[in-house]
Amino acid sequence: MFKWLHPLAKPETLYRFCGHLFPWLMLSALTILLVGNVWGLVFAPQDYQQFDTVRIMYIHVPSALLSMSTYTMMAIAAFIALVWQVKVAQWSVLAIAPIGAVFTAISLLTGMAWGKPMWGTWWEWDARLTSQLILLFLYLGVIALYGAFSDRQTGGKVASLLAVIGVVNVPIIHFSVEWWHTLHQGASIMKFDTPSVHPSMLWPLLISLLGFYLLMLALVCLRLRTAILEHEQHRPWVRATLGGH
At closest approach, how far in Å is the CB of 233 from another protein? Answer: 23
For residue 234, the tally of other CB atoms under 10 A from its CB is 7
Q: Does 242 sit near another protein (CB under 8 A)?
A: no
Which residues are bridge partners to 26 per DSSP?
none
Q: Is 130 in the site for another protein (CB under 8 A)?
A: yes
CA distances from 225 to 41, 96, 115, 148, 154 (A): 33, 12, 38, 23, 21
At its nearest, how many Å lie between another protein and the CB of residue 115?
20
The residue from 27, 34, 144, 190 that contacts another protein (CB under 8 A) is: 144
Residue 126 Ramachandran class (φ > 0 left, ψ -120 to 50 alpha, else beta): beta
Question: Rule CB under 8 A: is residue 86 a binding residue for another protein?
Answer: no
Closest separation in Å from C-beta 150 to another protein: 5
Decide: helix, strand or coil at residue 121.
coil
> Is 159 in a helix, a strand, or coil?
helix
Find the part of the chain contacting another protein (CB under 8 A) among 55-63, 143-151, 215-223, 229-237.
143-151
Tell me which residues touch another protein (CB under 8 A).
82, 130, 134, 137-138, 140-141, 144-145, 148-150, 154-155, 157-158, 161-162, 164-165, 172
